[in-house]
Amino acid sequence: MVKSGAIPYHFAMAQSNPAETLSSLAALCWLLEAGADEAIGETPANRFRTPAVSPAMVQPERASAHPSIAQHEPALPTQPAGQSDQIGHAMKLAAACNTLVELKAALEGFDGCALKQHATRTVFADGTPERRILIIGEAPGREEDLAGLPFVGRAGKLLDRMLASIGLDRKSSVYITNVLNWRPPNNRDPTPEEAAACLPFLRRHIELVNPRLMVLIGAVAIRHVMGRREGIMRLRGTWLEYYVNGHMIPVMPILHPAYLLRRPADKKLAWRDLQAIAAKIHALQLLEPGATRE
């Protein structure tokens, strides 16, 4: 929430300089992804500005010529500016892609997510986008990193069995991707910065698939795709709404198969959610022969 009357710095900048709109929105996205959804100061502070020359190196006469910068703005770490640049770059790259093939190539050429340095492969997607049933998980693990495909390890095998239980399979009826396209070291949770660098690609991925139904696997996917911070136990089994190209897409959050491997007793909850997904697919006639997109 932003207090009324307080115009976020980057919106003000965007209005006075349209050329900055894209990077301003990217910076705002990054702030939201980082969890900063409330303005708490009356006066906006530009925390992204990086002095071109460090204050320690500024000549005294030059410093006094720009008192507003030299005296009131502390030296800021360069990382956030670099980060917002990377998000802006990711947004431009993703927006320029008109096919999934182009998007995959753009991701493979993008070096703005730190996770890529440690990863073996870029993990893009698997399955059949034509059916427009989109499944989004969290991030590749070890097996996925080696194979370059999502959900091929133990959790992936359970996911395949879960899908099979309602007549779905990845080769002919669903399309699977992740929020993160590179494996976080030791399968740790992705940082907000890592997720933010991948999100422009994910959003474009969703637009290009243009799904008629989405399934979000686990809390990380729900947080980053829907911006919802409630626990997975609260949201699972509840239909949510996501808008793509002006159309509402029903979204079902489900328990992560990796969690179900640890807590098999909760498979009954997953089964209920799978039944709800199957009923929706039937109601929307998504597996009817004519439903396949050209």
Footprint of ligand URA on this chain (CB under 6 A)? 137-141, 144, 150-151, 153, 155-156, 178, 217, 258
The token duo for 161 is 């069995």
For the CB of residue 151, give the shortest distance to ligand URA in the complex, in Å.
Answer: 4
DSSP 58-121: S-HHHHHHSHHHHHHS----SHHHHHHHHHHHHHHHHHT--SHHHHHHHHHH---SGGGGG-SS
Cβ proximity to ligand URA: between 172 and 187 the closer is: 187
Beta bridge partner(s), residue 178 = 137
Cβ proximity to ligand URA: between 13 and 162 the closer is: 162
Cβ proximity to ligand URA: between 80 and 141 the closer is: 141
For the CB of residue 118, give the shortest distance to ligand URA in the complex, in Å.
Answer: 16
For the CB of residue 117, give the shortest distance to ligand URA in the complex, in Å.
Answer: 19
Residue pair 28/11 in contact (Cβ under 8 Å)? The answer is yes
For the CB of residue 136, give the shortest distance to ligand URA in the complex, in Å.
Answer: 9
For the CB of residue 292, give the shortest distance to ligand URA in the complex, in Å.
Answer: 25
Beta bridge partner(s), residue 253 = 216
Cβ proximity to ligand URA: between 47 and 121 the closer is: 121
For the CB of residue 290, give the shortest distance to ligand URA in the complex, in Å.
Answer: 31
Cα distances (Å, whole numbers) of residue 114 to 108, 192, 216:
13, 12, 24
Residues 6+ apart with CB under 8 A from 127: 135, 170, 171, 173, 174, 175, 176
Cβ proximity to ligand URA: between 33 and 160 the closer is: 160
Cβ proximity to ligand URA: between 83 and 178 the closer is: 178
Cα distances (Å, whole numbers) of residue 3 to 12, 31, 37, 38, 42:
15, 16, 11, 8, 8
